Each structure stands twice: as C-alpha cells, then as structure tokens.
Structure 1
C-alpha cells in the first residue's frame, strides 16, 4: 500500500467521536493521477448507522435549542477555520479527486463563504403575526425540520457536502452525511473544522459505506426527517421514491446535459473562449457543465477554431504540478465512459478536431476533446458526458435550437450568447432549466438559488430559498387568557 503523509487518517464521526466501522471493513482510496492507494476508508455497519441516526436525535435537541446568535457564531468560527486550512484541505482534495491544487483550494475557500451566507440567512427565517379575532394571537413560525440524512458525490468533495451541512446546521437541524467513499479525506477535514469550532456532539455525523445500503437504512430510519441528495438522475429517482414511501420530504439536485446556444448575433470568439473555459473546469465533471454546443451556422467555423485553440491550450496533468489547468478524471469508470461516448460519436460520423483519446501515462487522463459533425443519434447528444468532451452542432433557426435544447428530460443549467436584449428575453422565457447564464458560463453563487426542473430534480440550494427544505412552517393559534 502506498500512503501519503499529506493525506489524513480516515475515520467516521459519530456522536462527537472519530471511529472505524464496527466490522472493520474498509475500501481503498486511490489517487486518480497516479492510481496509487492513499488510504482506506472505513465502511459503516447497520449498527454504526443506527448510532449515527440516534446521535442526530440527541444532537438535534441540543443544537435546535442553542440560541441562533450562538449557533451563528459557532458556524462563523468553522468558516474561519475552513479558510485558514484551505491549502491543507485543497491538497487533500487534489490527491483524492485530481483537480488542480489552485482549483481545489479555491473550492475550500468558497464553501466557507457559503457557510457564512447560510448562517447569516438563518437569522432572517422570519415568521409573522397575523391579525385575528380579539383575544387570539395567531402566528406563523419557521422551525427546523429535524435530523437530516444527506448523500453527496465525489466531483466537488468540499462543495457537495458543505451545501448540505451548511444549510442543515444553519437552520438548526442535525445531520448525518454520507460523503463519497472516493473522496473521504476532504470530508474528514471539513468535519474537523466544525468539531473544532464547537458544534455539539451528534449535531453533525459523518459516515461512509456501501451507498445503496447506507441510503436505504438512513432513509427508512424513523429518526430522519429530510432526505437531501446530489447525484445522478437514476439514483435520485430511487432515493426520492424511497423517501416518498416513508412520507419524508426530499431535496434532489440531480444531473443535467446543459445546452449552450450561440445565437447569430453573438461574438463567436468571446463565446468560444468563455464556453471552453467552463467546459474543462474539473475535467468536465460538473453537473452544470456546458455539454451540448448549438452554434448558428454562420458562426460555426470561427467558433470551432477558437474553441479548439482553447482546448489545446489546456495543460493536463497531476493537479499538484505547477501550471496544470486540468487534472485526471476521478476514476476508471469515468474514463471508460468518455472513451465509449467518443468512439460512438466517431462511429456515427463525428470528426475529432482535437483530443479524443486517453493520455499515455498512469492515471485516468483524457485529452480535452472537441467533436464536430455529431449526429443526433450519437449517445453523446442524449447522455450526460461528465467529462472533457464538447460536441459542436450547427443550427439555422433559433426555434429549432431551443427545441433541441429542451428535447431531453434534463433541466438543470443552460447557457446562451447574444447581443440582443430581446433574444436574451426569449432565451430566458423558453429555456427549460433551473439555472440560466447569458453571455457567460457562471457557476453557483451563495446569494442565489441553484436547482433543476424536469428530471434534474427539485428544491433549491443557495440564496434565501436554500433553507426552505430544512424548515417547516408551523401555524400557532394562541387563545389568550381572559
């Protein structure tokens, strides 16, 4: 086994204590840039999960009853620790997920901002007093829903878990979070920040394990009151159905296949540069990544040339190396998937303008890839690539482009480029997506909501709407003593 002194000891965190799984079972954690083993993550037993859920009940009572000003101060302290430890957290993230170190450390700092936003916004979870009959005080209260069971993937090892943890703790809930077994070290470092800031035992619990077994047990456990999930559409459907069977609310942030429409009046060079920059962030392993590029036929040649130049300027390598701008794919599964999508598109007539193959070196590296002449029946046009592949497709009529953009069951993110205010308004009105960016490919921001429509999920994270799922609305009618 290869180890790395920068990589943390992997443990679960239950009822305020760091522990191994009850059965002693573990799974290896690999460095995707080298394929070396970094460590072994403990896997929870049913008894471990029961302890975590029961701890969340106790932790909820303590955290809910902590005055909001004190809760906010503790969470701000955790945010300060996240920032001060961002380089350490970022290095761990790069080791286990592969993204460039600068990108990883930036993610650690951004999640501190998200935590501060949610902590402050929870102080504005206002109720109201309703004018009523004489002698009656009628109010509406906003109160935490209770213990949360949350499940997050590997592509944003800090950002994914923090969206759930920050919202839950800010709202006054407790949480049991199952972070990815492929990127556990980042989650361990995040949780240590909350522990050191003074979050009480049981309010935050971290577990790992076999995903289907963990989710089934925690969703069905009588202690959990809300299910929060980020991940693929198929898994999201299974988890939301299981939650529905238990009559438990759920928050689902699922996958997409984000279309980009470059309109006839757009600047093709600027559009190509901005779209390419977004496409290769995190090696394309982003649920909001632009992934279908619909370009007006009059701009296609110029757009393609600039996009290819941008793709070829990407520096691929180990995320710890200076100057690298794109790391490996996170695992062998993703590498095989993007190879298959590329091969299928080429077999159906697509032309590889750059890239198109695995790099000849250890690790899960795939070259930034641009394809033209992609047929409508290529799998790449209907399956989320979740990798550094960009299919460029011409259109002549904006209505046709919008119909193609909206033809899939997904509706997470969409992008449009135009110089016309009227066209921008049409895109805003007709794109079927929960997140829309015009003339740029911006990412999530703390102060505004993110989430999907159609099969891309429901509920919102971020902004004032981000706490809604974690709060219940209670009507209180108080007959005053005469």
Structure 2
C-alpha cells in the first residue's frame, strides 16, 4: 500500500490494470498549501497509458457486471470498513496535501466510508419489474443493467468524498471506473483506491489516473468504450465536457459550481442562524460548492445579524491543519489568494463595506482572512462570480419577494438556505427557490441516502441516494413469448 507522504521523494502512482505505475521521471509536484513546501510528486500519465486504462476498464466491466449483486455488496462493505480502519492515516494525508483542518479531514473520510457502505447495501436492491399481460405465454419485463465503463473526474476540495460518490455508486451498479484523481491531493486518492483493492475489487475494475486534466478528458470523454462521464468541478470546464459528451451521446452527470443564497428572516433565532452560517461559510476555507455566500437578511434584523456574524467570523482561528485549535486552513493554491484579493478590492471600489478580513495572512502558506462584505452592489464581481473562498456577502432585503428575486437572479442553482420558524413561509420558499437542494434552518444536505446536485448552470444529474445509483444504470425492456 502507498502510505502517507513523508518526504519530497514520495511519489503518488497511477493504477492501470491492477498495477501501480511508478515513473518518477514523469511526475508533477504536490505542494503543502499550509507551508508552500514540496510534499512529493504525482504520476503524469501519457496517451498510451490512458488508452490502456480504457482497455483494462472494458475487460474489467465484462467481468464485474457478471458478479452477483450480493458479492459486489460485500466488497463495498469491506471497502467502507477499511476506510474507517485507516481513517486517521488517510485523514492526515488529506490534511497535509489539501490543507483542511484534521477534524474536517477525519469527517471527510468518515463520510466517504458512509457513502461506500450505503451503496454497498443498495447494490442488493437494483430492481426491475414485470408488466401485467393478458397472454400467459408472454413475459414483459423491465430490467436495469450497468451502463458500462465510467470516466469519473473528481475535484481537489473534497477528493475523497466526491470519489466515493462516483466510485461506490458505479461499482454497486456493476460498472468499471476510471477515476481521474486530484493532482493537488493525489496521495489520499491512492489510499482511497487501495482500500477498494484490498477489499477485493478485481484488477481492471478500477483505474486511477493523474496527469494533465485537459488531455485525460480529451481522450476519455469521447472514447467509444467509455459509456458514462461523471464530473465535479467548475461551470466552464463542465460546459466543455458536457458539450463533448453530448456530441458522442454519452450519459453524463455534471455537479458544477454554485453561489448559494441564504435567506434569513426576522423570526429566525439569530444566534443559531449565525453559528450555522459561519460554520458553513468558512468550512474548508469556503472552498465548497454549496457554501452559503450571499447572506440575505431581512432589514429589521440586518444590523444585529451583521454585527454577530462579523464578530464570529473574525474569531475563526486560521492555521495549520494539524494545530488542534485551527478552525480554518489555507486555500489550496497561491493563485486563489490573488482571486480573493481581486474580488474584495472590486467590491469595495464599487461601494461595499469591508467589515472584517479582506487580505492575505502574513505567514507561510496560502492563508486568507475570514472576510465579511456588507451592502455589496449587484455589479460587483463577487455578486456574480462564485468566490470559492472565505468571503461572505451580507446584504439586506425588504420583503420575501425581493429576497427570492435576488436568490434566483444568478444562473447558478445548486443549494439555497432558509432560516425561519414559519412553516407556511418554508413551504413557499422551498417551491420558489431555483435550486437542486434547499436546507431549512441548517439541516444538512449532503447525506448518502439523499440526491445531491443542481439545476441551471449548476449542472444536471444526481449523486447520492437511489437517484445516484440510477445514473449508472440503463433500462432495458424485454418482450418474451414462449413457444
């Protein structure tokens, strides 16, 4: 097993046909974002190796689709168990290369195991149905079959849990998977895949690739043997991949960006709402697609909310992932620091008030202050572009109609949040908000048994729940007459 990186000489290999590919001469750097120091290198696969991965996935699919559902279930349940057994080791690797506090990394490993376990259980419940007939010599059946080899592209912000949603669902359905792991967090991806191998996933059923993302996608997405594409990432990249998949009539799941509004009404308990939103906003340094970003507050409680939220945001402790007092870690890239600064400067220049934060922290690594902007005008970039960082916008609204109009103004539609004690208002808003998911009063939305995904520019298709399993199945109608 490839373990936790311990020196700059370590190498995260690709996995092709059951063999780990160690080619240090063709490696990309892996940087610790908390120190900006080199951790090691990841594999850089070439065209031949990408094509070889597809060939192995085709052979792996032919075998795996014929494995009994009960056996696939046991393999996935074993993988979930191994992820939990190795939780501390994997979490430490994740924190070192991605930067999130160790407690958050531990939680991500646990969620990955939970997702894998859930799909391991659900693998036994892939049902078709028989249709009623008048002629007893006729059998009409609807069957569910695995779609085929899958190309799965996972992001750096949640490299484990996003991999689990794709890999576990695909394997449960009987598909083989080519996982394009995160080059920013490759070592934890290696450990994740190793758990599945050790659980009994046969050679060729799962491949792991690292390299130039554009080149890997250029080969995998249009490849005739790849029958399904699952991508989590930015809207611009998702548009390109969806276009290519559409040209080749490929099934696709696109879980893309967001710019989540949170509607806070005067009747909501402010202290509870503030704590919930600060926790959600600055989790993973705001590098979360469902992060609440536009906090829309009813005008009569706006000053009180802004004061409380800003005080709690300023108290968020920023530091190294392995410091037990750290609430928030660094951004993943130095270039993200420049983006944050540009967004803050643009907003202030256009009339927004910088309440707290707003600049890079003067220390090694890619740390940015938890930031709050208030009364941000609509023409500011941050009101229209997903910041994907630790910046919260707090703006007032006069009435429910105005709040809904602003919430739905952008082309994004991933998650929306509502804080109110009114059951009638909750029902109205859950219907009116244009989002794939709505959380009321801080209830979680990323559950293994629940569908996760968006509408509009935030993508299509779902991960999680039985809907997530259906994404890897095709429906076949069989009409049979007995002679």
Structures share fold, TM-score greater than 0.5: yes
TM bucket (normalised to shorter chain) is over 0.9
Query: Which residue does 2:337 correspond to in 1?
Result: 335
What is the CA deviation profile of residues 207-245 of structure 1, one whole-angstrom value per residue up to 9, with x for unaligned ones? 011111100100121210000000011100100100011
CA distance in 2, matches of 1:450, 1:379: 27
CA distance in 2, matches of 1:343, 1:363: 21
CA distance in 2, matches of 1:7, 1:150: 28
1:159-238 equivalences in 2 (<5 Å): 159-238=161-240
2:152 to 150, 154, 159: 150
What is the CA deviation profile of residues 144-183 of structure 1, one whole-angstrom value per residue up to 9, with x for unaligned ones? 0000011111000211111111111111100001011111
CA distance in 1, matches of 2:86, 2:334: 30
2:406 to 386, 404, 411: 404
What is the CA deviation profile of residues 251-306 of structure 1, one whole-angstrom value per residue up to 9, with x for unaligned ones? 01000100001113222222112111110000000000001011011011111111
Query: Which residue does 1:319 correspond to in 2?
Result: 321
Q: Does 1:354 align with 2:356?
A: yes
2:93 is paired with a residue of what secondary structure? helix
Query: Which residue does 1:77 correspond to in 2?
Result: 78
Query: Which residue does 1:95 correspond to in 2?
Result: 96
1:298 is paired with a residue of what secondary structure? helix
Gaps of 5+ in 2: none
CA contact (8 A) 2:231 2:254 kept: yes
CA distance in 1, matches of 2:293, 2:443: 11
CA distance in 2, matches of 1:279, 1:444: 15
User: What TM-score results when the alignment is normalised by the length of structure 2?
Assistant: 0.97
CA distance in 2, matches of 1:119, 1:195: 15
CA distance in 1, matches of 2:351, 2:187: 43
Query: Which residue does 1:32 correspond to in 2?
Result: 33
Query: Which residue does 1:381 correspond to in 2?
Result: 383
Query: Which residue does 1:16 correspond to in 2?
Result: 18
What is the CA deviation profile of residues 319-373 of structure 1, one whole-angstrom value per residue up to 9, with x for unaligned ones? 0112111000011122111111111111111121111110000100001001112
CA distance in 2, matches of 1:251, 1:475: 23
Aligned length: 478
Query: Which residue does 1:243 correspond to in 2?
Result: 245
CA RMSD of aligned residues (A): 1.3
CA distance in 2, matches of 1:79, 1:122: 14
1:285 to 254, 262, 287: 287
Query: Which residue does 2:442 correspond to in 1?
Result: 440
CA contact (8 A) 1:274 1:441 kept: no
CA contact (8 A) 2:261 2:295 kept: yes
Per-residue deviation at 1:7? 9.6
Per-residue deviation at 1:318? 0.5
CA contact (8 A) 1:277 1:310 kept: no
Query: Which residue does 1:53 correspond to in 2?
Result: 54
Q: Which moved more, 1:61-70 or 1:286-295?
A: 61-70
CA distance in 1, matches of 2:422, 2:415: 21
Per-residue deviation at 1:412? 0.1
CA distance in 2, matches of 1:220, 1:20: 27
CA distance in 1, matches of 2:279, 2:179: 32
CA distance in 1, matches of 2:12, 2:193: 12
CA contact (8 A) 2:445 2:452 kept: no
CA distance in 2, matches of 1:8, 1:353: 43
1:220 is paired with a residue of what secondary structure? coil
